[in-house]
Amino acid sequence: MSGVLDKAIVLSELGPDERSTLLDFLEPRQIQEGGALFYNGEESGEMYLVMEGSVRLEIDGSEAGVIGAGDALGAMSLVRIGSRQCGAVAVERCRVLVLTRASYLRLRAEFPAIALALQEGIVRYVSGELQSLLDRA
């Protein structure tokens, strides 16, 4: 069953056994077309892994981008408390896996090596996204 996590780019640092363990900490959710995953300005505390569908990122009602299967939203909220810098709305019906901050803290306590590998994957993912933005500028 951990094969479903193979799409998640942010989990590239995790091996098959680690992904299988991580599944116990993830909450599956279905978001209907037009449904909000989260809103701009709300407190962040969850990372979303998009497994199916696409999600539109919005800032002040304007589209800031679209992401799809394999992408992560809110990864930094696991290691940094703050407010969401954008909103996220399902373009079509989406299937996501959610890691809450509470589940992440439990993962860190019970499986520190997996949590560290996840953090490294988050840093690599965010760095790659930042580099991509810089390359387009």
For the stretch 78-98, pLDDT in tens is 877 788 888 999 999 999 999
Is the pLDDT reported for residue 24 higher than 80?
Answer: yes
Task: Give 59-64's long-range contacts (Cβ < 8 A, gap of 24+).
Answer: 59/85, 59/86, 59/87
For the whole prediction, is pTM greater than 0.85?
yes
**Among the listed residues 59, 73, 62, 61, the one whose alpha carbon sits nearest the alpha carbon of residue 29:** 73
The pLDDT assigned to 108 comes to 96
Is the pLDDT reported for residue 56 higher than 90?
Answer: yes
pLDDT bracket for residue 4 (50, 70, 90): low
- The CATH code belonging to domain 27-101 is 2.60.120.10
> Domain spans of the chain?
27-101
pLDDT bracket for residue 136 (50, 70, 90): confident
